[in-house]
Amino acid sequence: MPAALFINGRFLTQGVTGIQRYARETLACMDSQLGPNGPHADFGPVTVLAPAGTPDPGLRHIRFQTVGRLSGHAWEQTELAWHARHGLLFTFGFTGPLLHRRQITTVHDAGVVRVPEAYTAKFRLWYTFMVRSLVKHAPLTMAVSQFSKSEAIACFGARPERVGVTTEGWQHLQAIQPDDRILDKHQLRDQPFVLAVSSANPNKNFGTIVKALDLLGPQAPRCVVAGATNSAIFQQATTSSEHMIKLGYVSDGELKALYQHASCFVFPSFYEGFGIPPLEAMSSGCPVIASTAAAVVETCGDAALYFDPHRPEELAQRLTDFFSDPACGALLAEAGRIRAAQYTWQRSATLNLNMIKQFLK
């Protein structure tokens, strides 16, 4: 019988941003594939371990168990390690217990190394030390793109033959009902606007959007920015423009409505490991204008217009070209839908399970 697999469920205690979205959606698809009629029905016992008080995620074929009394890093480093000691431990994120040698973690990017100014010193030093230590001893490390694989090797010392590549998806949007009330609340209904989504992390490069809008002057379109920030992790970027509307946190339903009604979506990041937002936009039929960050180009392929994130004049020109050509939006929207169809959470689950299975013998 295959050895036991334990999944680090700490992400279930956290708010849903990129990594937590990846974890929740991939876990749900893994659960469906482990069913009696699924492709991995012979996988062996799988248990999600989480801190006490964590809500049950409602899995059908993967066992869910809360253990210990601690929370956060303390729980992960001690109680998780103890309860997973007799099996292989898998984590959808970067971190895991340093005392557990048989574990697989997932590297999403190397922002703490490549863009150190975007993080607090304490967070940066702890994460860099932990990821390098885990990668060094892991039988396998997952990466969410070819680019993130190259970063795991270059920045964290992973051995190329010990890095597997998975993918991400957008299908979580299908279960969400768009909330159009946000359009009326901010006078956006039937009005052209550019949408941008993310935190105020300086790496997200909202300053380039502001500069591009200023360069366009009276001809600048309205730019709607949705998303909150985590000041405990990110150094704050304060950028604004008279053409920019900052919505702050929006619900999933509100975000879907914004994707569906925006003229286009702008993703100006200096650095990403994958980039779910442009994929969400493409799946919603929203044309994408994106930076030339390597992982973003890998994700979007030929279905986006690109600009150098260090050159706001290039973004200004792309916006001018887009709004002056009525056919451009329709062409990009169709190309985006075709591109988005290549990415699914089910494929992420399949890739993860196929690779994990090799280490359960």
The distance from CA 36 to its chain's CA centroid, rounded to whole angstroms, is 30
- Would you state the pLDDT for residue 242? 78
Q: Which residues contact 117 (CB under 8 A, 6 or more apart)?
A: 202, 235
3-state SS, 239-255, equals: CCCCCEEEEECCCHHHH
* Residue 241 reports pLDDT greater than 70: no
CATH topology of domain 5-169+344-357: Rossmann fold (3.40.50)
Alpha-carbon span 68 to 49, nearest angstrom: 10
- Is pLDDT larger for residue 20 or for residue 249? 20
Measured N-to-C along each axis, helices 18-33 and 345-357 cross at an angle, to the nearest 10 degrees, of: 70
Structure tokens at 234: 């990110």
CB 315 within 8 A of CB 289: yes
Question: Within 13 Å, how many C-alpha atoms sit on residue 320's CB side?
Answer: 14
Q: What tens digit of pLDDT does each residue of 193-219 get?
A: 999 986 667 778 888 998 999 999 999
The torsion of the CA quartet 195, 165, 20, 288, rounded to 10 degrees, works out to 10
Asked if the domains 5-169+344-357 and 172-340 are classified in one and the same CATH topology, the answer is yes
Q: Any idea where the domains of the chain sit in the sequence?
A: 5-169+344-357, 172-340
Q: For 172-340, CATH number?
A: 3.40.50.2000
Alpha-carbon span 340 to 63, nearest angstrom: 32
Q: What tens digit of pLDDT does each residue of 103-142 get?
A: 999 999 999 999 998 889 999 999 999 999 999 999 999 9
- Give residue 60's region: left, alpha or beta (phi > 0; psi -120 to 50): alpha
Beta bridge partners of 90: 7, 104
Q: Would you place residue 230 in the very low, low, confident or very high pLDDT band (cuts 50, 70, 90)?
A: very low
Q: For the whole model, what pTM was predicted?
A: 0.92
Structure tokens at 345: 């959470």
Return the residue matching tokens 């006078």.
187
- Would you state the pLDDT for residue 2? 57
Q: What tens digit of pLDDT does each residue of 144-186 get?
A: 999 999 999 999 999 999 999 999 999 999 999 999 999 999 9
Q: Would you place residue 236 in the very low, low, confident or very high pLDDT band (cuts 50, 70, 90)?
A: very low
Lowest-confidence segment of 83-87, 124-128, 232-236 by average pLDDT: 232-236
Q: Is the Cα dihedral 222, 226, 231, 235 positive or negative?
A: negative
Residue 358: CB atoms within 10 A of its CB come to 10
Helix extents (H) in the chain: 18-33, 72-74, 80-83, 111-114, 121-137, 146-156, 181-185, 206-216, 252-261, 276-283, 294-300, 312-324, 326-340, 345-357
Mean pLDDT of the chain: 93
